Amino acid sequence: MFAELQMLTPLVPTREVYFVRYCKQLSAEQWAIVDVSIDKVEENIDASLVKCRKRPSGCIIQDKTNGHCKVIWVEHLECQKNTVHTLYRTIVRSGLAFGARHWMATLQHQCERLVFFMATNVPTKDSTGVATLAGRKSILKLAQRMTWSFCHSIGASSYHTWNKVSTKTGEDIRVSSRKNLNDPGEPHGVIVCAVSSVWLPVSPTLLFDFLRDESRRSEWDIMSNGGPVQSIANLAKGKDRGNAVTIQAMKSKENSMWVLQDSCTNAFESMVVFAHVDVTGIQSVITGCDSSNMAILPSGFSILPDGLESRPLVISSRHEKSNDTEGGSLLTVAFQILTNSSPTAKLTMESVESVNTIVSCTLRNIKTSLQCEDG
pTM: 0.89
Over residues 226-261, the pLDDT tens digits come to: 778 899 999 999 888 899 999 999 876 667 789 999
* Dist. CA 205–CA 261, nearest whole Å: 18
Please name which of 186, 174, 117, 192 lies closest in space to residue 148, comparing C-alpha atoms: 186
Residue ranges and CATH numbers for the domains of the chain are: 2-118 (3.30.530.20), 127-309+320-370 (3.30.530.20)
What's the pLDDT at 249?
A: 92
3-state secondary structure of 204: helix
What's the pLDDT at 161?
A: 80
Count other Cβ atoms within 10 Å, centred on residue 337: 17
* Dist. CA 346–CA 75, nearest whole Å: 44
More confidently predicted of 1 and 45: 1
Work out whether strand 57-63 and strand 313-316 pair parallel, antiparallel, or are unpaired: unpaired
What's the pLDDT at 148?
A: 94
| DSSP character at residue 345 | P
DSSP helix, strand, coil percent of the chain (3-state; round to 5): 25, 35, 40
